[in-house]
Amino acid sequence: MSQTVATSVIDAVSEERCRELLVEFVRIRSVVGEKTTAHSWVTEHLRGLGMAVEQYAIDDLPGPLVLGELGGGNRPGVMFDAHYDTVFAAPDDWSRDPWGGQCENGLLYGRGAVDSKGSDIAMLAAVEAIVRSRTLLAVVAPSEHDLVLLQILRADFNA
C-alpha cells in the first residue's frame, strides 16, 4: 500500500466519529448471559457500510454471532475479530452510570469502553475508513473475501 493510500485511509478516521460510535455502543448493555440488542446495532452499522451481513445463532448464547463481508472477490483478505460482551457492573460501585457512556474531560466512562467495545469500535472505524476512501486492500493472507468483520457476544467463544 502506498504512503498516499495509507494516509487517505488514516485521514478518513476521526476521533469524533470513534467517540460517537463508542458512546452509542457502550450505552447498549451486553452483559454475559443476558439478552442484548448489541448484535442488531453491529448489524445495522455493517449493512450501512455496504457489507453483506449474516447472523448465526449459537447454542447457549443470548445473541447471535454477526458476520459482515465486504467485497467477496478472489483477492486475499483481512478479517477483524472481536467480542462485545461485558461483565456485570453494579451501578452503586461506579461514580457514573456504567451504561451511560458519559464523556468528561476527554474520557469516556462506561462498562466495556476498553474491554472490548473500544477495540470493536476501532475495527468498525477502520472498516468505515476503508469503505469511504475506496481503498483496495493489498494483504498476504488468503481468503475468499476482501474484508470480513466477525463480532461475537462472548469473549471465550471459538468460531
For all residues of the chain together, what is the average pLDDT? 81
What are the structural domains, with CATH classification, of the chain? 3-152 (3.40.630.10)
Three-class DSSP category at 82? strand
Contacts (Cβ under 8 Å, ≥6 apart) of 123: 80, 82, 149
pLDDT in tens, 92-137: 999 999 999 999 999 999 999 998 899 999 989 988 888 887 765 5
pTM: 0.81
Contact of 59 with 139, CB cutoff 8 Å: no
